[in-house]
Amino acid sequence: MKKIALKVSIVFVLISSLVAGMQVVKVTQANPTWGVYPTEPNQDKPILIIENPQNDSICTQNGIILNFTVIKPSSWNQIVAPFGSPAVGRIESVNVSLNGKQEYQDFLNTNYLNGADNWNKNYSICISGLLLGTNIIEVTVFAKTSYFNENSTNNMVSFYPMNVTDTLYLNYSEASPTPTLSLIELPYGGLNPNPTPNSTNVPLNTTISLYFTRPPSICDLNITPNVPIKERIFENDGFSGTYVFYLAEQLQPQTTYTVTITYGQETAPEGFKPTTNRTWLFTTEITPILSPSPTPDNIQAEDATPTIIILALVIAIVAVAAVFLRKRK
């Protein structure tokens, strides 16, 4: 009897082990990942916050610092048994593009923002190469959540992909030069312009000059209609003097010219304009009228009186001399 009971016990243990093994196989086939995932995908997207620059900002340089933060949604924090870690959602990568061209990419699929302790990440990225006008910067976060699809034929874990994008519009314009309208003109202005402003009948071979109580280091002439400049000299008169411009060719007759002399200092005193313009007009003379060549019609008879008197005197002298010689004989 004891042997029969022992055999029955052994058979019972074998049958129980076989049933248990079949149950393990069923569990394995039902969930081959050995974890308990939600049966519906979590569709909550990551949070993207751009701190700087502000949208529609105006930039005066072709580069900016882009600061933003990526945050996982709290709903992703679901414990997956038996692992004991929140592996429902994963952020795969963070991408930054400028005007459609990728400037930066950070892969995070297995490194960051996947564990229980890493719920956000801050970024500070230097982006250069802005174009004049409107520029478009896009920041995109790619992510996925895991779930067990009961309707799947292979009983595998499925993934729900998602992304979130934020767009910035930046207007880049070159920095404007420092305004000079509020600056004071140099105290030693140009005086005694030559030719005199608004004068007429100016000789065609005139020079152009301007007198200064203190000679500037910059003194340039512009004349319209254009006339080439032969040379510029400075006629010194103690601490003062005159800049004289000699032209390479004569001016045109009966023509109004506009003269602009730009003068100043290469290093102007603080609060003063570096250069000042002095502009005036003058009109040249009419072309001189030349006398016509002599012709039979315009030849005039000369006065012959002086010639006749001289001839008469010569004849009288000769006659007196002849009479005097006869008397001596």
For residue 216, how many other CB atoms are within 10 A of its CB? 21
Q: Which residues pair with 275 in a beta bridge?
A: 264
Are 262 and 216 in contact, with CB atoms under 8 Å apart? Answer: no
The answer to the question of residue 261 being in a domain is: yes
DSSP-derived pairing of the beta strands 63-71 and 47-52: antiparallel
Question: What are residue 210's DSSP bridge partners?
Answer: 243
The verdict on residue 224 lying in a domain is yes
208 within a domain of the structure (yes/no): yes
326 in a domain, yes or no?
A: no
Tell whether 213 and 269 lie within a shared domain. Answer: yes
Task: Tally the domains of the chain.
Answer: 2
How many Cα atoms sit within 13 Å of 177 on the Cβ side?
3
Which residue from 201, 259, 276, 269 is spatially nearest to 225, judged by alpha carbons? 259
How far is C-alpha 103 from the chain's CA centre?
21
Q: Are residues 59 and 96 in the same domain?
A: yes
Q: Is residue 203 domain-shared with residue 279, that is, in the same domain?
A: yes
Task: Write out the residue range of the structural domain in which residue 140 sits.
Answer: 29-172
277 and 203 in one domain?
A: yes
Kindly give the confidence (pLDDT) of every residue in the chain, 329 residues in length, as a single tens digit, with 9 standing for 90 and above: 555 555 555 555 455 554 444 443 343 344 444 456 778 888 899 999 998 888 898 888 888 889 999 988 878 876 555 555 555 788 889 999 999 999 999 887 655 455 555 678 889 888 888 999 999 999 999 988 888 777 766 667 788 899 999 999 999 887 655 444 445 566 667 788 999 999 999 999 999 999 888 888 889 999 999 999 999 999 988 778 899 999 999 999 999 999 999 988 877 666 677 888 889 999 999 876 554 545 555 445 445 566 777 777 777 777 766 766 666 65
Residue 275 covered by a domain: yes
Whether residues 104 and 54 share a domain: the answer is yes
Q: What is the pTM of this model?
A: 0.44
